[in-house]
Amino acid sequence: MTAKVILNPYSNRWNSQKRWPDAERALREAGVDFEVGLSEGPGHIAELTRQAIRAGFSPIIAAGGDGTIGEIVNAMAHELENSETLVPLGILPMGTGNDLAYALKIPFDLAGAAKVIAAGKIQPMDMGKVNDRYFANNCALGLEPYVTTIQAKITSIKGVARYLLATVMAIMDRPSWQIRMEWDGGAFEGPISLVYVGNGPRTGGMFFMGPDADPFDGKLTVVYGYRATRRGMFALLPKTLKSGAGNYLESEGIIEMTVTRLKVHLESPTPVHTDGEIIYTATQDVEYSILPGRLQVFLP
For residue range 160-171, what is the model confidence (pLDDT) as tens digits? Answer: 788 888 889 999
Residue 84 has pLDDT above 90, yes or no: no
258 pLDDT tier (thresholds 50, 70, 90): very high
1 pLDDT tier (thresholds 50, 70, 90): confident
Query: Which pLDDT value is given to residue 155?
Result: 77
Cβ atoms 174, 233 nearer than 8 A = yes
Range of the domain at 54: 3-120
* Residue ending a domain, choose from 120, 150, 169: 120
Query: Which pLDDT value is given to residue 285?
Result: 98
In a domain? residue 126: no
Query: Which pLDDT value is given to residue 17?
Result: 84
CA distance 212 to 244: 9
Residues 283 and 151 grouped into a single domain = yes
151 pLDDT tier (thresholds 50, 70, 90): confident
Q: What are phi and psi of 56, to 5 degrees?
A: 85, 15
Query: Which pLDDT value is given to residue 246?
Result: 95
196 pLDDT tier (thresholds 50, 70, 90): very high
- Among positive and negative, which fits the CA dihedral 276, 58, 130, 226? negative
Q: Which residues pair with 295 in a beta bridge?
A: 125
In a domain? residue 127: no
Residues 176 and 226 grouped into a single domain = yes
CA distance 57 to 86: 12
In a domain? residue 8: yes
Residues 11 and 59 grouped into a single domain = yes
251 pLDDT tier (thresholds 50, 70, 90): very high
The count of other CB atoms within 10 Å of the CB of residue 90 is 25
107-130 pLDDT, tens digit each:
999 999 999 999 999 999 999 999
212-243 pLDDT, tens digit each:
999 999 999 999 999 999 999 999 999 999 99
Q: Name the helix (H) or strand (E) containing 13.
A: helix 11-30
Can you give the pTM of this predicted structure?
Answer: 0.93
In a domain? residue 165: yes
Residue 28 has pLDDT above 80, yes or no: yes
- What CATH number has the domain bearing residue 57? 3.40.50.10330
Query: Which pLDDT value is given to residue 34?
Result: 97
154 pLDDT tier (thresholds 50, 70, 90): confident
Residues 143 and 116 grouped into a single domain = no
Q: What are phi and psi of 20, to 5 degrees?
A: -60, -40
- Nearest CA to 213 out of 226, 197, 225, 193 is that of 197
Residues 61 and 179 grouped into a single domain = no
Higher pLDDT, 190 or 17: 190
Q: Name the helix (H) or strand (E) containing 181.
A: strand 177-183
Residue 206 has pLDDT above 80, yes or no: yes
Mean per-residue pLDDT for 29-33?
97
Mean per-residue pLDDT for 92-103?
95
Cβ atoms 295, 136 nearer than 8 A = yes
In a domain? residue 43: yes
Residue 16 has pLDDT above 90, yes or no: no
**What does the mean pLDDT of the chain come to?**
94
Q: Any residues with CB less than 8 A from the CB of 56 and at least 6 apart, and which?
A: 1
Mean per-residue pLDDT for 291-296?
96
Residues 143 and 288 grouped into a single domain = yes
In a domain? residue 285: yes
In a domain? residue 15: yes
47 pLDDT tier (thresholds 50, 70, 90): very high
